[in-house]
Chain A
């Protein structure tokens, strides 16, 4: 079934991306295949959307990791086990709330005359009404919020599996807190970090719903371009070409960062003469 409803349809996109839009009444023609749609996609206007999307998703993924890691660590290690189930349950509630609805929550919060703006003015944090909506910052905030749970869960699982005895052993061997974290906890949590990064980065790059709710015209993501080519402009060939570029943008980023990660790991391994850490599974 995956083959029939996934592989073949996606191959069609590649095929359609080589086609063109014959006239205003038809969406696609493939009798004259060319790479013309790709050069169209790389024109000035569209290119800025591609780089903008990549920027938002890279910053967003990094922020998710920076916010999610201490939180997952706290939840998995420092919270008394008695409370852990309840708190983890609470973390799941936003995940189970419709993500469009959560985004609407931010839409209300960030209104220039909304609650956040009002309370920030009241305590003197800002003097003028909040002007965040329809900017890149709003989009950035929205995506970090929406994809944070996807970062927390795998991190939690990885840190939760980590035997506390390992950290104590490290302490007993004279390592200070920072060193224990760097050489025991972090390497062992690495599978969770990688899973979280992938789980956040991939859907975030393709997402355009959050951006179009909070960012207005400024929140133009590649996904929105593809969608508008299919829904409004009815130019399926151009839309398909953009979709193909999006796929390669994601695969390319994953490959580049995966490669960089591997190189970094090798370098660190080489720099340490004594391997203190057991191999992560």
Chain B
């Protein structure tokens, strides 16, 4: 009893017990059929397979309801970070699962390059919530045109909450030349929150 140091032998015993087929096919099967712990490990290990793992990971994510497994899948996708991932994740923004939606947003925020080519389509989506999610992602994209994209939203979007989100996103990155357009939003929306954010941005510019 008391403090003990673990021996090498015990560790090896555990390693052997866990030896299952861990090549790509084995992992994919485990991802699809295993219990939640096995699916998590499979999702984590698949990160090592790069491009080949994208399809199995994304396909599973589309059906996966366990948050811990969703998290592991997204974590691996974030490590792999290749273009096909953008196309597969964006549709998940429409999911009814709020937890999944928000995790996907976070994942996309960390992979801005994958979203850049979809900006127009996202900001033009008929669903205002989708446009809001799009702004949440785009605002972290490190592209010189981001302020411009956001400016377009505040000039043209009809939905008050989409405009509000874009204004919030512009707060630290608005430039002097946008002042007029930003002030004009107050005329489009006679709402105390909108007025508040516009005033905040203008204050920040002086």
A and B pair up: no
Chain B interfacial positions (CB closer than 8 Å to A): none
